[in-house]
Structure 1
Amino acid sequence: MATYITSSHEFSRILTSHTVVIADFYADWCGPCQRISPIFDSLAKQHSKPSRLAFVKINVDTHQDIAQQYGVRAMPTFKIINKGGVVETIQGANPPELTAAVERAVRLAGAGKGAAFAGEGRRLGGSPIVPRSGGRGGGARSWDLMALLEVVLRFVGLYFWTLFSLDPYKAAENSPFNVNRKTNTQAGNTGATKRPAGRPAFKTLADLKSE
């Protein structure tokens, strides 16, 4: 709900305790102020968030010092104040323009409906769910166990395949455990064999010898 400001001290307290404050400068004798007031109150009821976003109503006749401080000369005037500084001013009783400005203020304050669910997820046991990251730039490093197991099996298979061969280089080159070995369907291709993304490429013994 919108707060009716009763003193400059109260207004200062609200400014310092909220990220964004939306102020409605009005007058009791102002017809347009009365017409748009229910819309402002509805937006305040829908979007107000403690310490994030506050809606206030300031009577310019009662608080001329505040009105002069913010350069208010026409009513109604709406000021969107972020961390003490005015970021947007809306003059006149224009409901669509006011609604759009409030929506921008909601995003600025981080007071949207999804804000309460921001941050790390948690499992039923209470422990946080740490995002998986395969890069070097922070986060817990995750291992692809299946890929690691495949590499180990290829290495062991290649070792035993060439162990009892008279020509270990040729055997290694033709081994089914050789990741760079071309199959019959690949024989006619001119492009190089591509390895799966994210998996290490082990060179054959023949490749090592030729380097």
Structure 2
Amino acid sequence: MSVSITSSAQFEKILSSSSIVIVDFYADWCSPCKAIYPTYQSLAIKYTRPNKITFVKVNVETSPEISQRYGVTAMPTFMLFKSGSVTKTIRGADPRQLTNAVEAAVTQAGPAAPMYSSVGRTLGDSSRPKTTPASSFITLGWMDTIIRFFALYFITLFAIDSYGAGERSSFNVNTALKRSVHSSGIKPARTATLAGKKLGTIADLGGS
């Protein structure tokens, strides 16, 4: 949308804060001004960017000091400013000429900044997303559990005394916990033990 100028101070502030400024100098009694206004307003709606591209309206009767400063003698008159300086002046209600001039100014202003910006990845990108300490800890925990499981499985599979071998194995979490408790000097709480039948040796089988 276009901005209605009410003072010279407001006009100067917009010129200093916006890269591109398109000004419509008009009068309420001007029929050509009214005829081209829909074109100007549609361009303003389409191309306005805060602090980048600004469309303003200056009534030559209520703000004569601005129109006199820039030598406006006919209505409508359109002026395009870039970095505070006039780059183009269009006199008369010519929709095609106005549209071409505005689109050229928009091109000079450059592309609009993206609304949302984030780090993305494309196909074939060799970069990998960074892993957090928590995710690394969870991964290592699962790997440790799997290694312990298979280690105990093979130890008990090939041992004659499978139960005892499993109990004494360094891969047994209970054994590791007992060693940790004993080394710290803390007396472990009494826990229930699993009752199981130990496999005898080959000599025991012969004796029976």
Normalised by the size of structure 1, how large is the TM-score?
0.55
Per the TM alignment, residue 109 of structure 1 is displaced from its structure 2 partner at its CA by 1.6
1:159-198 correspondence to structure 2 within 5 Å? none
2:69 equivalent in structure 1: 69
Which runs of 5 or more structure 1 residues have no equivalent in the other structure? 131-211
Q: Which amino acid aligns with 2:85?
A: G
In 2: Cα distance, 1:27 partner to 1:77 partner: 10
Per the TM alignment, residue 121 of structure 1 is displaced from its structure 2 partner at its CA by 7.5
Per the TM alignment, residue 117 of structure 1 is displaced from its structure 2 partner at its CA by 4.2
2:113 equivalent in structure 1: 116
Q: Which amino acid aligns with 1:101?
A: A
Per the TM alignment, residue 48 of structure 1 is displaced from its structure 2 partner at its CA by 0.2
Q: Does 1:12 align with 2:12?
A: yes
2:31 equivalent in structure 1: 31
Spell out, residue by residue over 1:6-62, the C-alpha distance to the aligned partner (whole angstroms, 9 max, x if none): 111111111111001000000001000000011101100000001100000000011
Larger-gyration structure (1/2)? 2
In 2: Cα distance, 1:2 partner to 1:9 partner: 17
In 1: Cα distance, 2:7 partner to 2:118 partner: 42
Note the aligned Cα RMSD (angstroms): 2.1
1:133-152 correspondence to structure 2 within 5 Å? none
Give the number of the structure with larger relative contact order, counting CA–CA contacts within 8 Å between residues 6 or more apart: 2
Q: Does 1:57 align with 2:48?
A: no
In 1: Cα distance, 2:70 partner to 2:118 partner: 42
In 2: Cα distance, 1:71 partner to 1:84 partner: 16
2:99 equivalent in structure 1: 99
1:74-93 correspondence to structure 2 within 5 Å? 74-93=74-93
Q: Which amino acid aligns with 2:120?
A: R
Per the TM alignment, residue 116 of structure 1 is displaced from its structure 2 partner at its CA by 2.1
Task: Find the residue that maps to 2:54 and give its secondary structure.
Answer: strand
Task: Find the residue that maps to 1:23 and give its secondary structure.
Answer: strand
Larger proportion of helix: 2
Task: Find the residue that maps to 1:21 and give its secondary structure.
Answer: strand
Task: Find the residue that maps to 1:122 and give its secondary structure.
Answer: coil
Which runs of 5 or more structure 2 residues have no equivalent in the other structure? 128-208
Q: Which amino acid aligns with 1:14?
A: I
1:185 equivalent in structure 2: none
In 1: Cα distance, 2:114 partner to 2:2 partner: 25
In 2: Cα distance, 1:25 partner to 1:117 partner: 32
In 2: Cα distance, 1:103 partner to 1:63 partner: 27
